């Protein structure tokens, strides 16, 4: 139940937060922008402001419930956090997003950070291309 997740995350259980979480959990589309979530809310008859959607998603990110991807600069999409780190492949034609995990890359990144004297805190990797269906 969503209320539990919210309470555990230290967030007060409010209608907008429950509804946004419901949308994220029930969508077939794993990656949604704030606007997408907002539209989905309107479609399910919820009167929630776009500003609130942004606020809620940002809080969810802070609480570790979702993660934010920054696609092509100036457009964020959110995905439910499932604990498993992964990177993304994006189709530049249909905007499909696929996920992948690659231990070799993960390890090399750590090695590079070390070499350069950086304490790695995060990384972002996007592979852009044309997916099977769009070729």
Partner DNA sequence: ATGTATGCAAAACATTTGCACCTGG
Partner DNA sequence: CCAGGTGCAAATGTTTTGCATACAT
DSSP state of 32: B
CA 129 remoteness from chain centre: 20
Residue 125: which of a copy of itself, DNA, none does it interact with, CB under 5 to 8 A by kind?
a copy of itself
Contacts of 52 (CB under 8 A, 6+ apart): 16
77 three-state secondary structure: strand
11 lies in the binding site for DNA (CB under 7 A) = yes
* Neighbour count for residue 99 (Cβ, 10 Å): 13
CB of 51 or CB of 112, closer to DNA: 51
Return the structure tokens found at 65: 């419930």
The contact pattern for DNA, residues 58-87, with x = CB under 7 A and - = no contact, is: x--------------xxxx-----------
* Least spacing, CB of residue 18 vs a copy of itself, in Å: 27
Structure-token pair, residue 7: 């309470």
Query: Contact residues for a copy of itself (CB under 8 A)?
Result: 70-76, 89, 91-92, 98, 100, 102, 104-105, 108-109, 112-113, 115-132, 135
Query: Contact residues for DNA (CB under 7 A)?
Result: 7, 11-17, 33-35, 47-52, 54-56, 58, 73-76
């Amino acid at each position: 139940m969503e209320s539990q997740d919210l309470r555990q995350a230290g967030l007060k259980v409010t209608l907008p937060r429950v509804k946004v979480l419901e949308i994220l959990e029930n969508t077939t589309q794993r990656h949604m922008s704030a606007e997408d979530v907002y539209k989905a809310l309107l479609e399910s008859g919820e009167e929630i402001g776009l500003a609130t959607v942004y606020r809620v998603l940002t809080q969810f990110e802070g609480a570790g419930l979702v993660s934010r991807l920054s696609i092509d600069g100036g457009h964020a999409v959110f995905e439910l956090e499932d604990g498993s780190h992964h990177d993304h492949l994006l189709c530049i034609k249909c905007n499909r997003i696929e996920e992948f995990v690659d231990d070799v890359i993960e390890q090399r990144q750590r090695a590079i950070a070390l070499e350069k004297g950086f304490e790695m805190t995060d990384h972002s990797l996007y592979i852009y291309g044309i997916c099977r269906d769009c070729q």
